[in-house]
Structure 1
Amino acid sequence: MNDFGKLDLGSNDYPFANLSNLVMVAGHSVYTSSSCGKVDKEDSWVLEAYQKHPGQAATFVAHIQEGVEIVSKDDGALLLFSGGETRKHAGPRSEAQSYWAVAELKGWFSNEESVRWRALTEEHARDSFENLLFSVCRFRELTGKYPQNITVVSYDFKEERFANLHRTAISFPESRFFYSGTPASPSSNEAAMKGESLVRSQFQEDPYGCKGSLWRKKRGRDPFHRSIPYPNGCP
């Protein structure tokens, strides 16, 4: 993937061939409530033990809104909510579809009608590296080319992981990579920073998450044994 932005497979066969920039919102949980009034409540999401802090759900919603707002200011951008069917207790619902549904329930697509048709999902990622890599692959499936620019939306404390470790792992140019970070919930910030330091060191040793604890964590986030399709659409 060293020739980002150079490969164009023609415009006739791709529904979004006119878009050139990727905005990716990294998923963190699955939304299960049928009430749009509860999207900010923790009991509306399937949370891991380390995520069960007051205000955690509101941080997911902030990421969703941030992604919509960024794309609303860029007519050439494709918005991808990224995240697979990672929670067994949530059933076969993906993080990505959850985020798209929350944006719809909140009415943000109605406020930004031009964004709705440019907001899609990437539904196979099982960790942050795959959020980035698979979203690039999904972008190529939809546009016939690699993104000219990438903007990632996630927590501010994960910027080093995405902007340096993951970006370098896929050889994407630093000058065309942007990051929009939002704060963690105050009640979880200290634990989040400690956990992030550990995960970052693991990705430094294993940039693609293919062994050890990163691989075990990834496998644990695939309870329905989904096959990864991107080698076909994005060799």
Structure 2
Amino acid sequence: MNKYSFGSSGSPKSFQAYPRAVEFDLESGTTRRARKPKNSPFHPTKMINSLRTRLQYYYKMHPLLVFIIFLSLGVTILIVLSLYESHYRMMGSYQKLDVSSGDYPFPKLRNLVMVAGHSVYTSSSCGQADKEDSWFLESYQKNPGQAATFIRHIQEGVEIAAKDDAALLLFSGGETRKDAGPRSEAQSYWSVAEFRGWFGMEENVRWRALTEEHARDSFENLLFSVCRFRELTGMYPYNITVVSYDFKEERFAHLHRSAIGFPEPRFFYIGTPASQTSKEAALKGEALVRAQFQGDPYGCQGSLYRKKLGRDPFHRSIPYPNGCPEIEGLFRYCGAAPYPGSLPWS
């Protein structure tokens, strides 16, 4: 008797008791072909027609219910798409800022000193900064001593920054005057400070004095400077000090500060007087502008918005809020009520 190991090449072939594809009937002793399962063909057209017929039936039976279901479905889809779009846009903004804290130019500075610009310097020499004809002045600014008030603001900003080693000094103001050419208010102020040797504090202040060159009104002076601070330091300011005219204190310290929700104990205002010849007119004009901001805190409607457009003669693209994605909602918001979203400093 031959012995075969399992799996060996010489093992006997398996025996097929019954032919494949047939069934053996034990009672009759006969064979018959196995039944092949019926494959029901897929007919998408029939399925669609069937679904449409059912929907038409349900709509005839319950028209209001079907309408509500479809309306709810449509609204849900829109909400989901909106959330995804917002998410990916925010992620794109964060990817643009994918830098470590060591890559920011001024990561150790934590306080903001902002000097609001009021005019563009047009003279070829900064040695005449105290002359009115060296600045591009609007009709209401053409008063003796007006140029000196600009220099006073610049000097105040430098002196405040010099007393605070953790302060970043920003001159804020865009290219607001067409006839002055593509020169910004911020760069004008920085150039005057440079010519004046930073009022004897160059070594201490110059390296941390920069510009914000897109603001078109006082609210943007504040908001854009906060965003610029974030671009340069990687964080938002702990304290904010604003330098401007004394008659604008209510506008900055209350209206604008409240609009961005910044804590009052950490907000400081340094105001200097207007020239004697322009003081009365300045107070009247300020009362009007303040009333406009009370009704439109974000300057996004009506006369304030039109004025802002007029102060952008060269159609500069504003880069914000790319540099401060955490407050993108604040930049997009427009309403009479305070911004309802969360803020990094609140």
Q: TM-score when scaled to structure 1?
A: 0.94
Partner of 2:11: none
**2:320 is aligned with 1:234:** no
Choose from 131, 139, 152 the match for 1:62: 152
Looking at structure 2, the residues matched to 39 and 78 of structure 1 have their Cα atoms a distance apart, in angstroms, of: 24
**2:135 is aligned with 1:49:** no
Looking at structure 1, the residues matched to 167 and 159 of structure 2 have their Cα atoms a distance apart, in angstroms, of: 11
The letter of the residue matching 1:177 is F
Which aligned runs of 4 or more in structure 1 are off by greater than 6 angstroms? none
The letter of the residue matching 2:269 is Y
Choose from 84, 97, 105 the match for 1:15: 105
**1:34: how far off?**
2.0
**2:283 is aligned with 1:222:** no
Looking at structure 2, the residues matched to 51 and 219 of structure 1 have their Cα atoms a distance apart, in angstroms, of: 20
Deviation sequence 1:59-114 (CA, Å, 0-9, x none) = 00100000000000000000000000001111110000000000011112653311
Partner of 2:255: 165
Deviation sequence 1:18-77 (CA, Å, 0-9, x none) = 000000000000001122331011100001111111111110010000000000000000
SS of alignment partner, residue 130 of structure 1:
helix
SS of alignment partner, residue 187 of structure 1:
coil
Choose from 233, 253, 271 the match for 1:181: 271
Looking at structure 1, the residues matched to 323 and 123 of structure 2 have their Cα atoms a distance apart, in angstroms, of: 33
Partner of 1:148: 238
The letter of the residue matching 1:27 is G
What is the 5 A alignment of 1:30-49? 30-49=120-139
Deviation sequence 1:92-142 (CA, Å, 0-9, x none) = 100000000000111126533110000000000000000000000000000
**2:233 is aligned with 1:106:** no
Partner of 1:209: 299
Q: TM-score when scaled to structure 2?
A: 0.64
- Contact residue 162 and residue 201 of structure 2 kept, 8 A: no
- Contact residue 68 and residue 79 of structure 1 kept, 8 A: yes
RMSD value, Cα: 1.1
**2:183 is aligned with 1:90:** no
- Contact residue 104 and residue 234 of structure 2 kept, 8 A: yes
Q: Give the percent of matched residue pairs that are identical in Structure 1 and Structure 2.
A: 82
The letter of the residue matching 1:23 is V
The letter of the residue matching 1:116 is R
Which structure has the greater CA radius of gyration?
2
Looking at structure 1, the residues matched to 202 and 163 of structure 2 have their Cα atoms a distance apart, in angstroms, of: 10
Looking at structure 2, the residues matched to 112 and 101 of structure 1 have their Cα atoms a distance apart, in angstroms, of: 13
- Contact residue 72 and residue 112 of structure 1 kept, 8 A: no
- Contact residue 109 and residue 116 of structure 1 kept, 8 A: no
The letter of the residue matching 2:103 is D
- Contact residue 134 and residue 230 of structure 1 kept, 8 A: yes
- Contact residue 109 and residue 115 of structure 1 kept, 8 A: no
Looking at structure 1, the residues matched to 321 and 110 of structure 2 have their Cα atoms a distance apart, in angstroms, of: 21
Looking at structure 2, the residues matched to 105 and 93 of structure 1 have their Cα atoms a distance apart, in angstroms, of: 17
- For structure 1, list consecutive stretches of 5 or more residues without a partner in the other structure: 1-8
- For structure 2, list consecutive stretches of 5 or more residues without a partner in the other structure: 1-98, 326-346
